[in-house]
Chains A and B, each alone.
Chain A
Amino acid sequence: MRNFLDFEQPIADLEGKIEELRHLADTGEVNIADEVSKLQGKVDRLVTQTYAKLTPWQKVQVARHADRPHFSDYVDRLITDYQPLAGDRNFADDHAVLGGLGRFRGQACVVLGHEKGGDTQARIKHNFGMARPEGYRKAQRLMSLAARFNLPVITLVDTPGAYPGVGAEERGQSEAIARSIEGCLQSPTPLVSTVIGEGGSGGAIALAAGDAILMLEHSVYSVISPEGCASILWRSAEQAQTAAEALRLTAQDLQKLGVIDRIVTEPVGGAHRNPEAAIASVGDAIDTALDELTALEPAALKSRRREKFLSMGRDALT
């Protein structure tokens, strides 16, 4: 059973019709090939049209789509010899942030990112991708490991935000995020970050202060969730749609603002309609980004990264 978003209802209806026809064909002798291909053409056009002009709020929904490929899907297809590593050596192993050693297109590297989980059980296990301090401390640990062994770092960002809990606060959520950002900024090796779904606030930047910041076409990245922003500024969570527009959280706006370096095109109808193609495109984009960075010495890399962030926001969106 496919999951359809609200705005995909016309697409869902057409696909339902095709299903019905196929069912008829299975039982009877009616030749429906022509009819099905006509309908399929219609579906394809509708999908293309719909996804060509998604509103910011629709992008938020696509970015959060349950069938969108997650961290583990990327690792399965892009990383060979993957060796997951666990724990922050302090308190616990946070399943909202996963990572380890592996090979990306032959090159040994450290890969880490948020995992939201693909089904209900997994989502609970991974706490919906909302990390506690241990997650950010695990990230710091893996970044230090990369630094020590001169390995590039690949991060995949997909989180609603850091987990707001009592224990998380007591164990220093703020400090853990701050140190994780610092860890990214001080990395002596190339660090390429890709927002693959939801880039939620401090929890996202904790893994995204990299040399190259890529974003999937329909992913979002924001200082606060549209719902949170709406309930504070409009005093009504119903205004989330309006807030999504005001926040400029789409990949397209963020590129104009100079916050991200590159948009990775998604397959027609979004990454969830063709995960393999989406993952392959992200792989190619990471490869290109790493290629441009590997020649740089640690000092040059660090100062280039500092300059990149310092110059952000100095030119406003026109």
Chain B
Amino acid sequence: MSWLETYVRPKIKALVGSPPDIPENLWLKCDNCGQMIFHRDLEANHHVCQHCNHHMRLPIATRLALLFDEGAYETIELPKTPVDPLKFRDVKRYSDRLKESQSKLAAMAAGSGAVGDHRDAIRVAHGKMDGRNAVIAAFDFSFMGGSMGIAVGEGLVAAARLAVLQKAPLIVIPATGGARMQEGILSLMQMPRSIIAVQEVKDAGLPYIVLLTNPTTGGVSASFAMLGDIHIAEPGAVIGFAGRRVIEQTVKENLPEGFQTAEYLLEHGMVDIVAPRSQLKETLVRVISLLTPGAPDAVADLARVEAELEQAGSADLEIPALAAGDDAGAAGGKP
């Protein structure tokens, strides 16, 4: 692709906007069974093929909207990290690859009206799931194959700290080929860094849940992604350490059927649940509410504080922060 297509065209598109009522592709072909799917059906079915149940890649904004109540969530701005620390160059400069990916994402976001931070392959969002606070860190496969470099690691640290701050569960959704080679050893160091991040969540007694999507491989699967309290995987997702080709070349034999798929990992004891996309949210909500039975539900908490305030007959009391559940009760009792 030339710079005209990758850079100028998206820029122009972002400026003038695509005509909203003429969708480019009304029909999409399932990349598994080859059947045609009408775009509305595809959206209604959360990008799952209605013919073969193949789970196609879900755009990150759609993914987040699917999991949060009423599709409402906020993304946080990610900490600034060094850009291209090694001054890496293969057939192309890494800094150019980054810029291309960033403008591609910006153009896509402008087209869909999505907001958020588009600097790298991770999005950190928070909102309510069944009325409770939740933090989700989701990988964006469309950004350099969702590869994990410093920015992604820093995003995971930020997500973990946000979860601790909000006393909320952390859900991480990898969709990644693994470490970002262009950041060399620093990308490898994201393995311990991301593990430290999720340790902070675990130390705070909060649930850490991994939702494995297609693909979750390499350095990501060999770090935080395999350390969840609960592992949920989407049907058919490829999950593993080494790539298929590398294994084939090493062992020089055909790989077993379904090798490294979510179902295969379930069979081999590496994931807890394989849940179809339509049941993801209810599964997550159920698991989280069972793991945190003592945690006051945010909505109930607000109601309780209000009721206590009313009982105390003091309307002008400041409503204490919801996070401080116990203190709120005490304040309500002693006007």
Contact = CB atoms under 8 A, between A and B. Distances in A.
Interface stretch (B21-29, B83-91, B303-311): B83-91
A173 B193 contact: no
B247 A162 contact: no
A246 B85 CA distance: 11
Interface stretch (B47-55, B215-223, B317-325): B215-223
B81 interface: yes
A221 interface: yes
- Main secondary structure, interface of A, reads helix
B241 A259 contact: no
Interface residues of A, number: 53
Interface stretch (A108-116, A137-145, A176-184): A176-184
Given A182-B199, A246-B90, A172 B270 contact: yes
Give the interface residue-count category, chain B: 35 or more
Given A164-B242, A166-B256, A166-B259, A223 B195 contact: no
Contacts of A173: 222, 240-242
A163 B247 CA distance: 9
A281 interface: no
A121 B318 CA distance: 76
A165 B190 CA distance: 24
Contacts, number: 174
B267 to A, nearest CB: 9
Given A313-B150, A316-B82, A178 B184 contact: no
Contacts of B224: 178
B208 to A, nearest CB: 12
Interface stretch (A19-27, A37-45, A227-235, A267-275): A227-235
A165 B255 CA distance: 10
Interface in B179-225: 179, 181-193, 195-196, 199, 218-219, 221-225
A223 B260 contact: no
Interface stretch (A71-79, A201-209, A288-296): A201-209
B117 to A, nearest CB: 18
B113 interface: no
Interface stretch (A2-10, A146-154, A247-255): A247-255
Interface in A292-318: 306, 309-310, 312-317
A205 B241 contact: no
Contact of A202 (B84, B181, B183, B219): B219
A105 interface: no
Contact of B181 (A162, A172, A233, A317): A233
A268 B120 CA distance: 44
B222 A174 contact: yes
A284 interface: no
B184 A209 contact: no
A185 B259 contact: no
A178 B223 contact: yes
Contacts of B189: 205, 259, 309, 312-313
A184 B269 CA distance: 24
Contacts of A309: 189, 192-193, 196
Nearest to A170: B268
A314 B184 contact: no
B109 interface: no
A17 interface: no
A72 B243 CA distance: 31
A249 B88 CA distance: 12
Nearest to B179: A223
Contact of A182 (B83, B219, B227, B268): B227
A230 to B, nearest CB: 8
B259 A223 contact: no
A259 B199 CA distance: 21
Contacts of A186: 199
A159 B226 CA distance: 22
Contacts of A306: 196, 199
Nearest to B82: A316
Contact of A169 (B184, B240, B253): B240
B246 interface: yes
A174 B185 contact: no
Interface string A99-110: 000000000000
A234 B240 contact: no
A86 to B, nearest CB: 24
B195 A185 contact: yes
Contacts of A178: 191, 195, 221-227
B262 to A, nearest CB: 13
Contacts of B44: none
A209 B242 CA distance: 21
A175 interface: yes
A246 B153 contact: no
10 contacts: A162-B241, A172-B270, A175-B226, A178-B191, A205-B189, A209-B192, A223-B179, A233-B91, A313-B193, A316-B82
Interface of B: 81-91, 150, 153, 157, 179, 181-193, 195-196, 199, 218-219, 221-227, 239-243, 246-247, 250-251, 253, 255-256, 259-260, 268-270
Across the A-B interface, the 6 shortest Cβ-Cβ residue pairs: A316-B82, A164-B242, A316-B85, A233-B90, A174-B221, A177-B222
